[in-house]
Chain A
Amino acid sequence: MKKETMLQLGILIFGVIAPMLIPSLSFQISILWLMILFALTWDMMGGQMGYNSLGNIAFFGFGMYICAGVQVGLYYDLAEYTSPFTTINATFTPDQYYTGLFLGIIAAAVGCVFIALILSTFLFGLRGPYFAIGTLGVALAAGELIGAWEYIGAGSGISIPVHPGEAGEKTQLFYYLTLFAMIGTFLFVKWLYGTRWGLAMNAIRDDEEKAEAMGIHTYRYKSMTWAFSAFFLGISGALFGNMTGFIEPLEVAFPTVTFGIFMVAMALLGGKGTLWGPVLGATLFHVVKEVTWTYLLGWQWVALGLLIVLNVVFFQEGIMGWMARKWPERFGLSVDSHMSRSKQSEEAS
């Protein structure tokens, strides 16, 4: 069996049995699955296509709000439900809960695809650092606008319908949903990078003007790739909103300076533009973050900052990039000893 297959199988087995082995860490591990999803979706844009988005977190927030809106809106009047003077004593039967959750997740994913396609029409006029700042602006503005929108609770947010079962059951349900979302994202990007689409994204990254001169449909690839990443981020937002139980715009739904920056830092740490880099980077980053939060409380941000600084100063290409430079043959980068396709006896001199 190939090493990569074994690694994937190992992660899958760990993922499935982890909540039984270490139930106390289930919540933390499900956050890890989301972190991997963040890094993978960011890397589609930043690593593979060269469009460093600082605003991908916006889709996380949009997904969260769309899902919550569907979960509540199916059974109650949303404006009344979120009003501070509400008289609604909201309860959801298990049937209502699961229908709402299911439809909410789908709506979040599809809704984010549409939002990404609309944003594409003006943001892809920007390149390089301007695109990064433009997308950051979108994420910040989205948080502020939603914070001012009374209909969906404005700054005081929305309480998500309460899970009808025992406390442990909810953690377990969302654990497996996040695992499933992460695996889905991983398999999707792995497949995508093996197609013509994947190579077109790389071409846009390396030289967009050349790609245009060669007739590549650059806008089509850029906007749809962003839509793909928004699809998965929308799902992640929908799940995270339900895991926390209460959502509000600035800290939970549009955490630009935490999750929004983490997704970039994780992809850079593992090695952007590679399949496994974001997975590795997210895992390492999350472990360091959790360990310092436990043992270095008060210094946790310093430790995290130090990790990022070390990464961008000494290991700009990330762990996977560093490995590819150290062992190029293992990554298939080698000179062929044959001079021509016919592979006759001629050897390279």
Chain B
Amino acid sequence: MSSIEIKNVSKSYGGVHANTNISMSIPSGKITGLIGPNGSGKTTLFNSVVGYHPIDSGSIQFKGKEISKLRVQEIARLGMLRTFQQTRIYSKMDCVRNMLISIPHRTMQWHEMLKPFTPELTEKAEHLLEFVGLYQKRHLISGDLSFGQQKLLEFAMALMNDPEILLLDEPTAGINPTLINGLIDRLLRANSEFGITLFVIEHNMRVIMNLAESIYCLAHGEMLAHGTSDEIQNDKRVIDAYLGAH
């Protein structure tokens, strides 16, 4: 069963065709990768899916429901979350508070907004911070953490929201190479233990080959190739696109 179904999506900025007739299907419960050279339209596609900007044509469905006309918050409340390429956290609050406010807002009623946070939520926040290795620093102001740690915090915040699907925009960019293996492991566990569908943009080939079962490759805003990691690795068009022969 597919979680996200993208059909013939096009998006251009002025004269630049960022996405042309893109179609893809993200299977539920799996990890799907999206690769492509710089400027190939990966982040534009992400932004279209999460409702950040309207698309020019085509259709995007989430669990069978058309979402291409919905706004960012409405899509997030359906259970589809994204993380940002330039990490975004609430930089003046400590880590625990960053986590607490990331609880699901799907069913939030007025009177619930005026309630304090329960000890159970704090416990859940601490568990997840431990999961990403930030437990010790949980009472520090998040803006003072290193870039890599902020990235881990953003990932933990996304998990706190209990999403059905998580769109990760370059989760390992800027992270210390020795920490990357740990992050890959955590992404795999988020998928297998928490049952979260992952859709990942990644530049690091080693990372994406280890993570994703199915990989899409974009180039110049168009779909270049689709296949398993082995197929993609040996696809001449993909290699050409990355080496600039295209």
Contact = CB atoms under 8 A, between A and B. Distances in A.
Interface size range on B against A = 35 or more
B112 interface: yes
A195 B89 CA distance: 20
Contacts of B77: 215
Contacts of B243: none
A202 B73 contact: no
A207 B89 contact: yes
B144 to A, nearest CB: 9
A317 B141 CA distance: 15
Summarize A's interface: helix, strand, loop or mixed: loop
A228 B117 CA distance: 21
Contact of B105 (A194, A215, A333, A341): A215
Interface in B73-122: 73, 76-77, 81-82, 84, 88-94, 97, 100-106, 108, 112-117
B108 A217 contact: yes
B82 A200 contact: no
Interface in B142-177: 157, 161
B50 A217 contact: no
Contacts of A210: 84, 88-90
B127 A209 contact: no
Interface in A146-195: 192, 194-195
B130 A197 contact: no
Interface in A255-311: 273
B81 A196 contact: no
Interface in B45-90: 50, 72-73, 76-77, 81-82, 84, 88-90
Contacts of B103: 196
B140 interface: yes
Contacts of B102: 214
Nearest to B94: A333
A285 B167 CA distance: 49
Given A199-B101, A205-B92, A213-B72, A339 B140 contact: no
A313 to B, nearest CB: 21
A83 interface: no
A207 to B, nearest CB: 5
B73 A212 contact: yes
A96 interface: no
Given A195-B113, A210-B88, A210-B89, A216 B138 contact: no
Interface of B: 50, 72-73, 76-77, 81-82, 84, 88-94, 97, 100-106, 108, 112-117, 126-127, 130, 135-141, 157, 161
Given A207-B88, A214-B161, 8 more contacts: A199-B101, A206-B89, A213-B81, A213-B84, A216-B101, A218-B73, A334-B140, A335-B137
Interface of A: 192, 194-197, 199-200, 202-203, 205-207, 209-218, 221, 273, 332-341, 348
* 3 residue pairs, one from A and one from B, having the closest CB atoms: A215-B76, A206-B90, A210-B88
20 contacts: A195-B113, A195-B115, A199-B101, A203-B93, A206-B91, A210-B90, A211-B101, A213-B50, A213-B82, A213-B84, A214-B76, A214-B161, A215-B81, A215-B104, A216-B73, A217-B108, A332-B139, A333-B139, A336-B136, A336-B137
